[in-house]
Amino acid sequence: MTVDGRGSAPGTLHTWFERQAELRGDAVAVSGPDGRLTYRDLERDANRLAHHLRSLGVGPEVPVAVRLERTTTLVTALLAVLKAGGAYVPVDPASPAERQEFMLADAGATVLVTDRADGVRGTAHTVLTGPGGTDLSGCPAEAPADGGGAVAANLAYVIYTSGSTGTPKGVMVEHRQVTALLTGTREHFGFGPDDVWSMFSSAAFDVSVWEMWGALLHGGRLVVVPDDVRRAPQDFHGLLHREGVTVLNQTPAAFRQLVRYEEELAESGGTPAELALRVVVFAGEALPPQMLRPWLARHGEDRPELVNMYGITETTVHSTYRRMTGADLTGPGSMIGEAFGGWTMRVAGADGLPAAPGTAGELYVGGAGVARGYLGRPALTAERFLPDPDATVPGARRYRSGDSARELPAGGDHEYLGRLDHQVKIRGYRIELGEIENALTAHPEVRDTVVVVDEDAAGDKRLVAYWVAAGSAADAAGPSELREHLGRTLPEYMVPNVFVGLDRLPLTINGKVDRRALPAPEAVRPDLDADFAAPATPVEKTLADVWAGLLSVDRVGLDDDFFELGGHSMLATQAVAVAKERLGVPVTLRMLFDLPTVRELAGALEELLAARQDDTNEGNA
């Protein structure tokens, strides 16, 4: 039987979906914070939006920007763009406006589908969703003829990744590469209508392609995870239980939070809710096998199956398959397995020739998943997308990944060793350190800078920016100002967690920055005794205690900044969850980002507690 049960896989994603809509009309296709849509509902709503997009000139190879919050409407819009024949360009609403405008201009998107009336500059047409938005009631509920004119070789989407030159670059992926991904992996997973997938990733992150289309094209159910739930491990664990999720996709950093939640609950005498998971797929960054030890001890290795998949946006999400077991806990580093059907993996030396088994080299990925290239960057495309000497298909290419790996002597299995350049992955996001450095040196008070990745004893990664002031140290900008400066142009995950000021950067004999000679961030942290103001109120003491435990510092003062002490977004999520539990007040992640000192956050929380007490007193009067 084929993936859709109706013969060979259709050429485009939306025609494949239409077959599932015929077969599964009354079944729930997608659920989210705004409700549920059956396959029939989703097909109807997407068709109406698709006809409207067609009236705006959308067709094959036409990019359409989609900037929507994480709801069922997001799924409807992405499907509608494809039904209109176009290619979707996902834009994360949380990213800086300047970055959004760059992406729209670079993609040439003249149509924007959004749920906010404040559109970004550069779009000729804005389609507004939700109440009071664009009226689609007069649009046909049937699919546009001929699939919008799109064929398998047409663009399906353009996803932007971090760029070493200081600007993001758009990766162009066609329908046929995504359908090849789903057909090439089916023998390993056996996905079907009984599966429930969580859409944990942002639509601007390529794992969302696997989550969304993996669910809908197999007749399963997609659960869109709200942002606040995605950031709170205990809430996300509860969602997995309530929705009966069977297929979970996670970066190792995100999954580590689930593992910790279950551990902490068990230590306090609680019992984690039973999950229906049958498979957990890891992607986005290297998987340290030792982190799986507590999960395997609790759940075993048979259900759910744990699968590590290596992949990059330029080769369509995933390229390898590796089932993880208890035996891997004492094995080598991040094992990524071997290529699945339609993909190829080759480790080559500096000369581009195959490296001997067991020898480290650069990883080249070929086969059906290799993307079209970079949008508007022919020179970069020619540099990274090379003719494939192993292919039997004329004109086939392979992608030069920039990743270091080795093939094990036994053959087949591969070990991921890291980046050959300074591109890194943190919590699933691919980051060019050069882009951060370029943005930081744009500040008038910064002369030199270098950004590195630091890993603490628990395995959490963080970005550390070392910088040299352009003027005197007394006049130099502080970490808060630099963090605010970067936040204007970079997404939150690219803003360093720690800023270290130096008199000069250490150099090698060749005049290059000597990264190995950079001081450890802890060695140059501000003296916690300087101008130390001790917490006094119960709320202040609670916050200080929570921060000290998470940040591994002896004590925290009223004016200490959570992020300047080494906090990052994952630790911020934990800090908010623990503070909420101890204080019984709705602490939010946004509050911590906006009020990063104990004094500021405690003041806001004490006002909330006082208002709650006033309401209680009035109710008892």
Q: Count helices and strands (H / E) in the chain.
A: 17, 26
Task: Return the pLDDT at 5.
Answer: 40
538-616 is classed in which CATH architecture?
Orthogonal Bundle (1.10)
Task: Return the pLDDT at 447.
Answer: 78
Task: Return the pLDDT at 75.
Answer: 98
- The C-alpha atoms of residue 467 and residue 318 are separated, in whole angstroms, by 36
Plot region of 29 (φ>0 → left; ψ -120 to 50 → alpha; else → beta)? alpha
- C-beta neighbour count of 555 within 10 angstroms: 14
Helices (H), ranges, 27-152:
39-55, 72-83, 97-107
232-421 is classed in which CATH architecture?
3-Layer(aba) Sandwich (3.40)
Task: Return the pLDDT at 508.
Answer: 57
Task: Return the pLDDT at 529.
Answer: 47
**Virtual CA dihedral for 436, 525, 598, 446, nearest 10 degrees?**
-40
- The C-alpha atoms of residue 614 and residue 370 are separated, in whole angstroms, by 62
Domain positions in the chain are 1-174, 232-421, 423-522, 538-616
User: What parts of the chain have a pLDDT lower than 70?
Assistant: 1-10, 119-122, 163-166, 332, 422-423, 456-459, 471-476, 507-512, 522-531, 554, 614-621
- The C-alpha atoms of residue 453 and residue 445 are separated, in whole angstroms, by 23
Task: Return the pLDDT at 7.
Answer: 40
Task: State pLDDT tens for residues 495-550.
Answer: 888 888 888 788 654 556 777 788 877 654 444 444 678 888 989 989 988 888 88
- The C-alpha atoms of residue 306 and residue 283 are separated, in whole angstroms, by 11
Task: Return the pLDDT at 528.
Answer: 43
At the topology level, CATH places domain 423-522 in: GMP Synthetase; Chain A, domain 3 (3.30.300)
Which is it for strands 334-339 and 320-324: parallel, antiparallel or unpaired? antiparallel
Task: Return the pLDDT at 2.
Answer: 41
1-174 is classed in which CATH architecture?
3-Layer(aba) Sandwich (3.40)
Task: Return the pLDDT at 376.
Answer: 96
Same CATH topology for 1-174 and 232-421: the answer is yes
- The C-alpha atoms of residue 19 and residue 8 are separated, in whole angstroms, by 12
Nearest to 388 by CA among 337, 315, 320, 318: 315
Cβ burial 117-147 (10 Å sphere, 16+ → b, else e): eebbebbebbbbbeeeeeebeebeeebbeeb
- The C-alpha atoms of residue 544 and residue 530 are separated, in whole angstroms, by 16
Task: State pLDDT tens for residues 70-83.
Answer: 999 999 999 999 99
